[in-house]
Amino acid sequence: MKYPIQFGLGILAMILVWVPVIRAQSGGAPDQSQQTPQPQQPTAPEQPIGSENQTQENNSTDANTIPAIVTPDTQNPPPSGIFQPSFGVAAGHSYIQPRVDFQSAWSSNGEYSSNGSPNQSSAMQTITGGITLEQVGRSNEFLLSYQGGRTFFSNGDISDSSIQNLGLTDKWVGMRWSGTIADQASYSSDPMFGNGIGGTGGSGVNLQPVFTPGQTVLIPRTPTLNNSSAVEVDYQESLRTSLSFAATYSFLHYYGPGLINSGATNVQVGYNYRLTPRDTISGIYRFGVLNFTGGTQSIDEHIAEFSYARTLGERLKLQISGGPEFAFINVKGVPTQNYFSWTLTSNLAYQAGKRTSASATYSHGLQGGGGVFVGGSNDTLFGNVTYQFSRNWTGTASVGYSRTATISGVMTVAPVNAIDTVTVGGGIKRQLGRSASLGVTYQGYYQISSQPICGEPVCGTNLNYQSVSVVFGWHPTPIPID
């Protein structure tokens, strides 16, 4: 894959130019003479975008009737969109919030070396700083989150490493049109599967797994950059029906020899129909292209999915999407080969009262191969539970499993090679006043591979990693910028 960073930035630049044009065409004030008269309401604080949609739906006597103004429901994105369903507190004002985290840890295998390698246990210190900026208006919500830092190892044989995480979303809403720009990026030598080492992974952008690079294979310590850029535009035909259009580009780039870089471009269109205020069904078509190092191999994908989503207020959000997948394997100098498979994505977010929340995600489909294979079939399952014991004490637990395998009989004549990865994590945190917290976390990885995984300077198959961390965080009260 040539010039992955420049290509991703180019697509993001085109998105930033294109979306404001649509916003300017659709987000202007409507002609007052054509609006349905509305009763006067008491003056109230400015509401986040999309909050008025529930009132319109509850007051409508016929959901099939198209009112004078149909506002998209941005609090419950369509099943054919780019985001996973999740809970979140709608921001009522603009703010900026800095943060600093310090982590002192011990790891059993700082180089992520495979079996047969010498002992690489080490103490390590990680310090990160970050900032969150949220700008809220009547028709727009912008969120930027950045975290950067460095890890220092006491074992002189292990090189220090940097951590960079960036997340960006820009949502806008008009009379019938709405849209979103999103980007998530991370640069690190540490695994990003699960919560990352010490919980430092993630950018805060909750994209569907199909639109991410699929970095689920643990590679011996190698600096890695992954990025996902996405744009979505939705048109609300009525209170029941809407159309969604999305385009995404993601890549996985390794700064080391012997690994396969990959990039994926997707274009998707979906039709959403709301059966009830709680239930929505969707039809989705997606076209995707996977490209790999050297440019001599690619995979074209055609996917048709049926999706069902159910929402129970702030308690349950469920989404299941699946269907057939037709792929064409293109290898330079070899006739195109056909491949038939299936895709499935399921997301569950559950909240029991104010103390317990849980989420689970499962996905199956073709992805880039995790730096080891030229394309591969991937299954990923991940779950997380958070429980608040008291006002100051909170506990978390997570578990994940991933299997990445070659495509039998297509990309290789050898038996199917597969890599199985398991991650388990957990921790407990105590709030210290309003701005500080102190916690203890554990993260474990175990990986089994049927073929050697090579990263500078070693190759190996099975991998075992354990870490225990003490984490101190300083997150001051958000500073209003209205």
Q: What is the tens place of the pLDDT at every residue in 189-227?
A: 877 665 554 444 456 788 998 999 888 888 888 899 999
Residue 153 lies in a domain: no
Residue 78, number of CB atoms within 10 A of its CB: 27
Grade residue 294 by pLDDT with cuts at 50, 70 and 90. confident
Q: Is the pLDDT of residue 73 over 70?
A: no
Residue 246 lies in a domain: yes
The continuous run of DSSP H or E covering 262 comes out as strand 262-274
pLDDT of residue 110: 79
The mean-pLDDT minimum among 72-81, 134-143, 159-168, 237-246 falls in 72-81
Q: Judge if the upstream peptide bond of residue 67 is cis by omega within 30 degrees of 0.
A: no
Least confident range from 57-71, 132-146, 277-291: namely 57-71
Asked if residue 451 is part of any domain, the answer here is: yes
Domain CATH number, residue 403: 2.40.160
Residues 407, 376: contact at Cβ < 8 Å? yes
Query: If you write DSSP's letter for every residue of 193-240 in order, what string do you get?
Result: STT-GGG----S--B-GGGS----S--SS--EEEEEEEEEEEEE-SSS
- Enter the pTM of the model: 0.80
Q: Is 201 within the bounds of a domain?
A: no
- Residue 59 located in a structural domain: no
Confidence of residue 312 (pLDDT cuts 50, 70, 90): confident
Question: Higher confidence at residue 6 or residue 321?
Answer: 321
Name the range with the highest mean pLDDT among 59-68, 273-282, 399-408, 411-420: 273-282
Percentage of the chain lying above the pLDDT 90 cut: 54
Which of 41-45, 228-232, 452-456 is most confident?
Answer: 228-232
Mean pLDDT, the chain, as a whole number? Answer: 81
Answer yes or no: is pLDDT of 345 > 60.
yes
Which range marks the domain in which residue 378 is found? 4-25+72-86+170-179+207-480
Residue 28 confidence (pLDDT): 42
Going by C-beta distance under 8 Å and a sequence separation of 6 or more, which residues neighbour residue 21?
Answer: none
125 part of a folded domain: no
Residue 75 has pLDDT above 70, yes or no: no
Residue 20's pLDDT band (cuts 50, 70, 90): very low
Q: Is residue 156 part of a domain?
A: no
What is the C-alpha separation between 10 and 45, in angstroms, rounded?
39
Q: Of 9-18, 66-75, 284-293, 355-364, which gets the smallest average pLDDT?
A: 9-18
Torsion of CA 29, 30, 33, 35, to 10 degrees: -120
Which DSSP string do the residues of 325-339 spell out, in sequence order?
EEEEEEETTEEEEEE
- Name the nearest CA neighbour of 361 among 386, 378, 381, 343: 381
450-479 residue pLDDT tens: 777 765 555 667 888 899 999 999 999 999
- Joined together, the tokens standing for residue 347 give 């997301």
In angstroms, the Cα distances linking 190 to 105, 152, 155, 289, 407 are 14, 13, 16, 27, 27
Instruction: With respect to residue 398, please indicate whether it lies within any of the assigned structural domains.
Output: yes
Residue 450: per-residue pLDDT:
76
Q: Where does the pLDDT of residue 353 fall: very low under 50, low under 70, confident under 90, or very high at 90 and above?
A: confident
Say if residue 4's pLDDT is above 50: no
Find tokens 């590679």 and name the residue.
219
Q: What's the pLDDT at 42?
A: 43
Total domains in the fold of the chain: 1
